[in-house]
Amino acid sequence: MTVVLGPNRYGKAETRVVRVTRDGEVHHLKDCTVGVSLSGDMREAHTVGDNAAVLPTDTQKNTVYAFAGEHGIGQIEDFALLLARHFTESQPTIHHARVQIEEHSWERQGPHSFVRSGTETRTCVVHHDRDGTSTVVSGLRDLVLLNTTGSEFHGFVRDEYTTLAPATDRVLATAVTARWRHAPRGAAPPDYGKSYEEARRSLLEAFAGTHSLSLQQTLYAMGSRVLAAREEICEVRLVLPNKHHFLVDLTPFGQANDDEVYHAADRPYGLIEGTVLHDDAPPAGFAWE
């Protein structure tokens, strides 16, 4: 039996970079965490410890800072593409680059004053091959949503272990992780900023506007709304934890609870995952993770 090296990659994780752009008295802020993973002709680095093909991870970190200084950081997708193309085009041993960026949101309070806005994080992952092929996946995580009504759950399978009562009116809450893959139909690259804003708006509108018979139904409605709104998006993947809210029994205190007081349970929770895509969407050609 022969032992061989399988798929592998290496890189620099969680490089935090903050870029301030000073436009007179008005300053603009970009706060990002960047992860780089490279793969290519790395067999001898693993098998005999020959590092001739290895671009140090410290160099990858320095490249992030240098590019932030030289080019600035506009849309995170464009910055990720810039980095990925650099690594594959400048190093003959690097055949594929994966760049992941999380953007931490700050809300303007004045010309040069900001406050960190919530837990929601904008994300992107770019894959770029040495042949010039790029794939861009945009998204967000920790978008916390809640409907106080308009949600049901009944007609489900019951067995000897089922204790859940059917619900015709319940609180529906989740913390959305959404990722969407771009497949531009024209020569011009997408406006990633506008695409993100409208995809996010579509998620919010679908969640608020869907009378939900299950969280699965809501997931499909959210993904479908994004695809209908943005022609450059061909596939949407959603992860929706069901943040359960249980009515509190107030009878020990001589009170009725007319669907007003709830306990928000953090675990265990239902976890609903799914993909919504165009039937002619081109194959991704990579692992989304």
| Spatial separation of the C-alpha atoms in residues 13 and 27, rounded to whole Å | 28
167 in Cβ contact with 152 (< 8 Å): yes
For residue 57, indicate whether it is catalytic: yes
For residue 244, indicate whether it is catalytic: yes
> How many residues comprise the chain?
289
| 45-68: burial string, b at 16+ Cβ within 10 Å, e else | beeeeeeeebbebeebbebbeebb
For residue 119, indicate whether it is catalytic: no
Q: Which of 61, 182, 243, 244 is catalytic?
A: 244
DSSP code of 186?
S
Helix or strand or coil: residue 251? helix
| Spatial separation of the C-alpha atoms in residues 185 and 200, rounded to whole Å | 21
| 127-152: burial string, b at 16+ Cβ within 10 Å, e else | bbebeeebbbbbbbbebebebeeebb
Dihedral Cα 247, 248, 252, 254, nearest 10 deg = -60
| Spatial separation of the C-alpha atoms in residues 229 and 226, rounded to whole Å | 5
| Spatial separation of the C-alpha atoms in residues 110 and 129, rounded to whole Å | 42
Q: Tokens at residue 5, please?
A: 């090296």
Does the bond joining 268 to the residue before it have cis omega, within 30 degrees of 0? yes
Q: Which of 33, 57, 148, 275 is catalytic?
A: 57
Residues annotated as part of the active site: 12, 57, 244
